[in-house]
Amino acid sequence: MYKKNLLAIIIIFFVIFYANPGHLVYGGDFYTQIKQPKGEVSILISTLERRLYVLVDGKIYKSYRVAVGSFETPTPIGLFKITEKAKWGEGFGSRWMRLNVPWGIYGIHGTNRPSSIGGFASHGCIRMHNKNVEELYSMVKVGTKVYIVGGIDGPFTFGFRTLVEGSRGSDVREVQKRLHNLGYYSGSFDGIYGQGTRASIIAFQIKNGLRPTGIVDAKTYEKLGIIKFE
């Protein structure tokens, strides 16, 4: 009886799998039989959902759970592209896809900490289960566009970090853009809080009656007009 039941289960599995060759659901993630999708492939990552979407011609083709950065070390927000692909050993994560983030080394990679997937657990990179990242690796190429989004507040979705010289991130870049629009900053929007950004903040603080600390704190954010939507 046991052998008959086992055989029946195996037969049912193969009937379902081959009758639906387009997808197989596993643990909440969607796996497709390994084949190159036809059309333009891009990636959308939602840090709020902790989910990565593979898009083909702008339509969702695949979906994977991921881990993203913590509040202290957030995942970059914005439009990037893959600049490097590499196969790593199993110790850290089997695949690596680097993004062209100007203020540091960030990318999509596997992990030896699968329990972290679905959380805010990384230093800014996007972590995936190794099986998932290997599948993604086979579908993308150098130059593939990667859109990373937060909530309605963009890089400030999870709050406002106090920014000091040496800070890096999407929030620094947003402050640089705001300073530029107000006529205080003429440098590049590189997301790096260097001496030029600090000097611009000090000039802004003096002009707006704030203590010239060179630190972007709550009062400075408010004067810059950077506030959270309620």
Structure tokens at 57: 């011609």
- Residues serving a catalytic function are 109, 125
Sheet holding 106-109, edge to edge: 59-65, 51-56, 41-46, 145-149, 78-87, 95-99, 106-109, 126-127
Identify the pLDDT of residue 35: 67
**In terms of CATH, what superfamily is 170-224?**
PGBD-like superfamily/PGBD (1.10.101.10)
Per-residue pLDDT 10s for the chain (230 aa) are 433 443 333 333 333 333 333 433 333 454 444 567 889 999 999 999 999 999 999 999 999 999 999 988 999 999 999 999 999 876 668 999 999 999 999 999 999 899 999 999 999 999 999 999 999 999 999 999 999 999 878 888 888 999 999 999 999 999 999 999 999 999 999 999 999 999 999 999 999 999 999 999 999 999 999 987 75
Which pTM does this prediction carry? 0.77
In the chain, ranges of CATH 2.40.440.10 domains: 26-149
CATH of domain 26-149: 2.40.440.10
Residues 15-19: contacts with CB within 8 Å, 24+ apart?
Answer: none
Identify the pLDDT of residue 61: 95
Identify the pLDDT of residue 222: 96
Identify the pLDDT of residue 25: 36
Identify the pLDDT of residue 15: 34
In the chain, ranges of CATH 1.10.101.10 domains: 170-224
Beta bridge partners of 77: none
Identify the pLDDT of residue 204: 98
